[in-house]
Structure 1
């Protein structure tokens, strides 16, 4: 299909993409897969955090999200403070100029309406606000597709997020708590739908992927310091999480179990190093993963997964591997409930190694049931995402008869 004037529809992708977070990039990959499969004529580019990486990996033109290159570094010198301030002003015009070149801009997945990790209002929330405001003023449709949301304590961040959501032409969420959070913030969600995370549309590894180490346990680790509201206790929370996770890995090793450490963001590397230093054993290895597909392969080769990062959980669940969540937010609990494994969730803020080991052993005892449940839930997730992509087609081509396709989708 093409636009009403016969030209290819111009689609922009927006977010912290190509910046080292595999979950964000996996969401981009899922939407690009949909576009290339169903709408190969669409002209696609991106405004993102790591344009060089996005262009190299996905083959689409990309522009840097922020004019000031040190946007996400702490500004301790006068020059950096001035640079950041000037960047906020310049980005108004850069964002507006980029947005009006498109028919629709898609924000693919990601937790763009939440602050479950430390977040400054004048960083990404401000960038998202500029995007949605530019879309409203220029007539470009902004679609928040399968995004995550959560209650936000900081007033400035909450205000920017609320107005961004209100100005978007289309919203869908990756779980019901996200929609509830936006409703509580004063956004009219009556027409907003909930679908599984769009990363579930990515291909799953072949069933029965062999493990190079029998009994392998994948442990997904994270540089976890609590939420944006936990800044005063961030180091204490991190220390408790790291100590509890390290003790868990050590207990597995003492039982002779091989452990593979898996990350999902470049910032997780220090956690891996700390665990390796504390548990000096050849049974502990580190996965080299450059994409969600790589992470899924690691998870598929394991007997069991214990993971913290949200998209590490998705990879394990999509691979059909019995999974225990070290949950740090409501989104993790909602995901585990969606996939029928809500019994196997443990708080990341209060890791109790003895209790965690009990849950782990219960999961392994019931592994066959868990695998059957995951097979059924994955099939349902893929089916529901077909409906999500039909809805997205109606956003891309509002003048065409895609309403029928949307009604007919399962």
Structure 2
């Protein structure tokens, strides 16, 4: 195998060696340009893409907020108590009593003032009346005879047959006879009044509530109450109210009463507020006047809502009001959409929501729900809800 050894000083070899540095430079320049173009393309590609959301933006929850404003709020007091007749009249035996012959009414009947409720046997009293009436007639006859004798005596006194003393005596006899007539008439009237009192009568118009007498029963002044009558049929509720709530009530306040066991409610009006507080349970009685209705039964139990006044305050949904050991609070979204805790004082709770008496003016953006999952200072995305 033959090897050719380059000859030093060969002109062809010298030209190749002189050309290699130029090629290297061109290759290096081309590589640099390619790298620059690739970097520019990458930079343009990154710039043209939408910016990726930050971690805080991706984590900001969407919540519903409401600005409640101010609304008219009725201040209500809830109470329970018993039903009763507003004016209950016990009816018993007024006279000497006796055996009951007939009972004319039943519980639930309406009666007039003076109407007979029960009749007492009176055969003895009737005979006494007849006797006294006969005595009145006897005394009237004696008085008539005495008057006639006096008239005849006056006609004879002018002839001298009868003295003036005889006239005076006959006049006294006549006057005594008239007096006996008056006494007998008074005794007759007294007996008739006693007999009339044997009837048990209604003292006023109203509704019979109870009856505790039967025919054949012997009754007297010690027999107690035979009938109970609700005057005019008017009813009332004796509402048990706490000491704090009682101070807010006034005569004339409106109330709604619902008897237990029924669905009907009745409008009433507060007509008396107890001047004292029970020392045991720290409650007082608020008496609510009610019209008559068959569903209102004295002795029954009922609940009442009394309107003690009205005012203006923000009203929030119950889901917006939270509570912990520090008290009631709400979450408010500030201008930077950050959550802020605000302590509030709540008032009346009704179907329309919870009234806030302190802590809000109604213009704030308040978190409606999911407040338990938020933290003060947290970024959120609020969505406003129209005011109801």
Do both proteins adopt the same fold according to a TM-score greater than 0.5, normalized to the shorter chain?
A: no
Max radius of gyration: which structure?
A: 2
> What TM-score comes out, normalization by structure 1 length?
0.21
Where relative contact order (Cα < 8 A, 6+ residues apart) is larger, the structure is 2
